[in-house]
Structure 1
């Protein structure tokens, strides 16, 4: 009994391994099945497996035979269905990826409209007007930049500098004329080259501007730049560069300037008088004019230092003298007596006052941009009344004395004030135009 139970336990432990014993146990009695399993079941499969691998490489059907060993007839039927279900799952599996991309296209179209909308803001009108002057984005933002022409006309500053140098060598009065020109341009309609336009009723026809000069220098620089960089550099930028270079040529500081101005379309003589400072103005009147432009008293004193170069005609300071019977008598007690006599001799000719005669604005140093002008003011040698009154006001006199003691201080202040002056009322971006010829608006 114990032996029988041991055989049953042995058979139970070995039954999961072989596949054939279940079919034999169905046909044989339980008593004989364990005996057979105990005596030969383990060796029998081991002997039958070796021949099977030999037949497997010989022909593919033997590969299906192991699956059909338990019941050859039923197993072939399940063998054919597996291929059919396998294609069926195979089709859904590819279908899932196909459906996944289909939802994703909607996700990708969503970003695609965004790029399509972003180019339009980058390519609308702002870049197009700026392309006439420069590709730089600064014109689109309506801002000035020192590197405005870095890509569109990199040689602009060198070209203007060469023209100014050549013209100044031929005519020493050119630097002073260019400095005066930038003042008269920027104080009326802003720095937009409106003072260059010729024609009836333009700024250029006002009596205050009849004595202006340096137009030929601006025109020469413009012609050169139109060859090198057509329709790119504005006349207003040329004026600012030319005046800056005139100061450098005469020994003044080389100051950086921002560029990107466009030329104005309006030039009216009626706008001149209410904006330009008259030679008979008091400090208060000049201060009011400067304040209206956003400039300070320090700017007034500093920019008046531009008179350290250049000259003025005798009729511009006639109010400081009494003219009678062809003679001149000083009426301004603040004027140095010796200096007054020098002016009388310079402006009197054949018993008359030669109103058109030019006199140096800065006695003894009119060809050099330095601080001698301020020392002359303290000594009563200011040529124009607007010069002389700067030492009659406590605030402006203190600044005059400071600059008379320090040329470096004057130069540093000049750089700052010139930057403010040359950004008055500028036109950028879509405002104004780039003139082909500085003396007339584009037709």
Structure 2
């Protein structure tokens, strides 16, 4: 029992000496472990605690003379490491073992009780003694330095970092809002929502008024869009007048509806000057032509720029000729990124409008008897007779000014009757009739003839792809002041 008490006292003294050495406080020679119970041995251990208030003379010589006799290496290492395993049990007994020195440690332990010392639980009085001499910053692990880092100015430093970032944000938003268009560089249904919110309403009113006066306007606008998008993309290049422009090519001489686009442009220039492109006006007008005749309302993306190039030499290489086969049309569509389904669907645009007799004259021939007969034997005989009578003048020749409805019996309404007529041999153009002579395209024709809803759904998707061909944005084009000529 005495041996255990001696070990505890020795351990307590070692902790006292190590802490005093780390703090730079003078300490007396540790007592010999052979005299644990004697009351005379305890006062030297208790004096170091009271040295702080007793006499200031031992402080200067003691910090450097004390570490020399303290031979145990525990003085250099942190106090909790060596005694940690045995220190937990002797902690409460060391304070109670020397009865004579009890009052001295109580006075020393009371002032530094506010400083938490979790690292040295075995000897709370000695650790609290080491906290007062915190003036010597020799040891970074001293508990006396703990209150200093707590109010450190580290938390206020992060707030100033984000403060410089907000200034550039408003400047960027200003640059984005400065252009006339809301989202430059890309197409969007809400492209003009800020710069010209009434653009769609204005175009629709112009198309409706023109169609009321001339029922052929919807078909003309839709045909004009096809001829524009397949040459140089949807950039209104077909609207430019002048020698050698697309408009002068024979395939475009029969186009109509230019006055409607010009009227819409003049209206929009009065409402939103230099904002809405002619190419967007043409796309909206063709979309509205379908809607006003009973077709689906197709949401279209806007933000196109008007092209700067319009050459008649580019027309024939890109436009669909009325004498094309399915394979020839498929190749032309594939070159634009369109499919066979797109070919059949967009051919359904012939459900409105009319065609000149000269555009399908190759479908007839004069036989040995001098009679005009269809070249294609699959053409409905009654329908062929109607076309011959409609296109023949008194002298038996075809008139270049005579027109015939593309969709017999339903040319003023956008519906699926066109596909039903194809299956009945009543396709007006050769490009219409060949769609039922190919197994793949015929299956699509049959599906659309059965379901108008299916045709409308496919039309919406194909029309969106058509109006995205060769679109020019930002610096690739311009917003024309007049649709018939380039700015300059």
> Above 0.5 in TM-score?
yes
- 1:110-189, aligned counterparts within 5 Å? 131-132=179-180, 134=181, 136=182, 138-139=183-184, 142-189=185-232
Q: Which residue of 2 aligns with 1:329?
A: 373
Query: Separation in 2 of the partners of 1:323 and 1:261?
Result: 48
- 1:194-343, aligned counterparts within 5 Å? 194-323=237-366, 328-343=372-387
Give the SS at the match of 2:189: coil
Q: Is the 8 A contact 1:326 1:353 kept in 2?
A: no
1:332 Cα deviation after fit: 1.2
Find out whether 1:438 has 2:483 as its counterpart.
Answer: yes
Query: Separation in 1 of the partners of 2:371 and 2:302?
Result: 49
Q: Which residue of 2 aligns with 1:89?
A: none
Give the SS at the match of 1:153: coil
Find out whether 1:191 has 2:234 as its counterpart.
Answer: yes
CA shift in 2, pair 1:326/1:190, >3 Å: farther
Q: Which moved more, 1:175-184 or 1:325-334?
A: 325-334
Query: Separation in 2 of the partners of 1:287 and 1:337?
Result: 28
Q: Which moved more, 1:290-299 or 1:320-329?
A: 320-329
Q: Which runs of 4+ in 1 moved over 3 A?
A: 110-124, 323-327
Give the SS at the match of 1:380: coil
Give the SS at the match of 1:329: strand
Query: Separation in 1 of the partners of 2:171 and 2:194?
Result: 23
Query: For residues 353-402 of structure 1, what are the alpha-carbon distances to aligned partners after superposition, in whole Å with 9 as ceiling and x for unaligned?
Result: 11221000001100010000000000000000000000000010000000
Query: Separation in 2 of the partners of 1:118 and 1:370?
Result: 51
Query: Separation in 1 of the partners of 2:300 and 2:421?
Result: 29
| Number of aligned positions between the proteins | 333
Give the SS at the match of 2:434: helix
CA shift in 2, pair 1:113/1:266, >3 Å: farther
Query: For residues 7-63 of structure 1, what are the alpha-carbon distances to aligned partners after superposition, in whole Å with 9 as ceiling and x for unaligned?
Result: xxxxxxxxxxxxxxxxxxxxxxxxxxxxxxxxxxxxxxxxxxxxxxxxxxxxxxxxx
Q: Is the 8 A contact 1:326 1:348 kept in 2?
A: no
Query: Separation in 1 of the partners of 2:416 and 2:422?
Result: 10
1:328 Cα deviation after fit: 2.8
Query: For residues 74-102 of structure 1, what are the alpha-carbon distances to aligned partners after superposition, in whole Å with 9 as ceiling and x for unaligned?
Result: xxxxxxxxxxxxxxxxxxxxxxxxxx9xx
- 1:1-150, aligned counterparts within 5 Å? 131-132=179-180, 134=181, 136=182, 138-139=183-184, 142-150=185-193
TM-score (norm 1): 0.71
Determine which structure has the larger helix proportion and give its number.
Answer: 1
Query: Separation in 2 of the partners of 1:298 and 1:187?
Result: 17
Query: Separation in 1 of the partners of 2:372 and 2:202?
Result: 46
TM-score (norm 2): 0.65
Q: Which residue of 1 aligns with 2:469?
A: 424
Unaligned residue ranges in structure 1 (runs of 5+): 1-99
Give the SS at the match of 1:295: coil
RMSD of the TM alignment (CA)?
A: 2.3
Query: Separation in 1 of the partners of 2:297 and 2:245?
Result: 32
